[in-house]
Each structure stands twice: as C-alpha cells, then as structure tokens.
Amino acid sequence: MYIELELTHILRTMHTLERRIVERFPLSGLAEVAAGLCRVGEETAPTLEHLRRPIWPVRIAAGFGLVVLLALAGTLAALLSSLSRDFGNLGVLLQSIESAAQDLIFLCIAMWFLLTLEGRLKRRIALRAMRRLRSIVHVVDMHQLTKDPEHRLTPGTTTASSPVRQLTRFELSRYLDYCTELLSLTSKLAALHVQYLNDPVVLDAVSDIEVLASNLSNKIWQKIQILDTAPHLDPSSRGVRQSALLGRPSRAPHLPEHVDR
C-alpha cells in the first residue's frame, strides 16, 4: 500500500483539492481545470486495468503465428537438407541457401512483430493518455501566467490592456499554491501508466511530463516566495503597520501562517 501509487488515493486527493478551489474561487477557471482533472483521473482507471492485464486475443494470435512460422522454418530446413545430399546440383544448392536465408530473415522479422504486438498496442494507449495529461499541464500554466506578484506588491502600474487583477495577496498565494498541487497530481497520474508497463517510450513520455510539471512548479514557487518575503504593501495591511507603530491594537487581524489553506 505504501510502496506503490494507488489511483483511489490520488482521486481522493484530487476531489479534495477541487472542493478547496471551489470554496475559495468558486467562479474561477482554475476550478473548471480541477474538475476536468478529476474526470480524467476517473477515466484513467479502465486504462490502467487494460495496461495491467494481458491482451489474451493478441497473445493467442501471436502464439498461433509463431507456430506457423516455426513450421515453415522446419520445412525450409528439411528442403535444404535434402538438396545438400545431391552434390551434383551445387548451383541449385547455393541458390536455395540464399533464398532460405532471405526467408529466415523475413520470418525473424515476422516473429519479432508478433512478439511485440501487445506491447505496442499498450504503448499507443498510454501515449494517448500522456498527450492528454501534457495538455492539462499547459492549461494550468496558462491560468497562472498573469498571476504576477509584482502587480500586487506595487499597485497602480497597470495599463489599459492589463488583465483585471482582483485577488488579494493571500488569495494570490493560495491560487498559485493550488496550481502547483494540480501540476503535482497531473504528474502522479502520468506515473501510474508506467507502474505496470515496462516500456521505454512510455517511460520517456512520463519523465518529460514530470520534468515539465516540476519546472513550472518551481516557477510558480518563485512567485509565492516573492509574496512571502516582500514587505506588505496591501492597503489592508496599512492599518496594521500604523497601529503597530503607535502601539495600538489593530482592527484588521493578521492571518496566521498556519491558517488552513
């Protein structure tokens, strides 16, 4: 239970995150992204089950094809052996050996195709899911793109074409934190696809998604650190600073750092 990723636990975390986002930002696009990620997570269950179990029709067909190919290879070997006893037809024997070598090469290629057919079918299914998860990562990045802490810390620097920014400093920090959690959960969904599928191509695709999500999370956390370390310049915090300078209790209570997020 504690050494493998479990889809049920990931789904529970995703639904909890969706409720947190809806409760704090009910009309935001990020809430729709969280809901869409939950739907993708629920649709992942049959895909993972398909990747985990063997495809018996493909295996039976591949086994039957291998038997036929081995029978053909035995027939070719028997023909070569009968020709090799007749030393007078040396030219015919050499031509037969050349033709048999070519046939054996094609037979080996056909055998390799049948043996890897199941893996390639599962790879196509997994890569289709990877493309979907990669798109979600980019969608999350688009939602945090205009959430710049500089405009929150230095108000009055907007232009006519600047996006509307109505989030407070605390709300902006929460919004960015939710984006990092969405990125992390998306990468965990991707990692589930290689937990029971040993395919190097799918593993590379999952690694690319994890690296992309990690890089975007680092960029978002830089914004959060700016909000946490920069001096409070919000209008709501002016009364706190003035009351502190005058030695009076503030009417605007300061949010503790351990507040439930």
The pLDDT tens digits for 26-38 are 888 999 999 999 9
Same domain, 141 and 210: yes
Residue type, 71: A
In a domain, 105, yes or no: yes
CB 178: neighbour CB atoms within 10 A? 26
> Looking at the predicted structure, is the pLDDT value of residue 221 above 80?
yes
pTM: 0.73
Q: Is residue 258 part of a domain?
A: no
Compute the distance between CA of residue 99 and CA of residue 92 in angstroms, rounded to an integer: 10
Query: Computed over its alpha carbons, how large is the radius of gyration of the chain?
Result: 31
pLDDT at 22 over 80: yes
Tally the domains of the chain. 2
Dihedral of alpha carbons 207, 186, 145, 256, sign: negative
Residues 171 and 46 reside in one and the same domain:
yes
- Which residue range(s) make up the domain with 113? 56-117
C-alpha count within 13 angstroms, C-beta hemisphere, residue 238: 5
Q: 235: which DSSP letter?
A: G
Question: Percentage of the chain surpassing pLDDT 90?
Answer: 40
Q: Do 137 and 213 sit in the same domain of this protein?
A: yes
Q: How many residues does the chain have?
A: 261
**Residue that wins the pLDDT comparison between 33 and 257:** 33
pLDDT grade, residue 182 (50/70/90)?
A: very high
Question: Minimal CA–CA distance to 62: which of 135, 112, 8?
Answer: 112
Q: Ranked by mean pLDDT, which of 12-16, 47-51, 73-77, 151-155 comes out on top?
A: 12-16
In this structure, the answer to whether residues 44 and 95 fall within a common structural domain is no
- Cβ atoms within 10 A of the Cβ of 8, count? 8
Which structure tokens are listed for 148? 């710049």
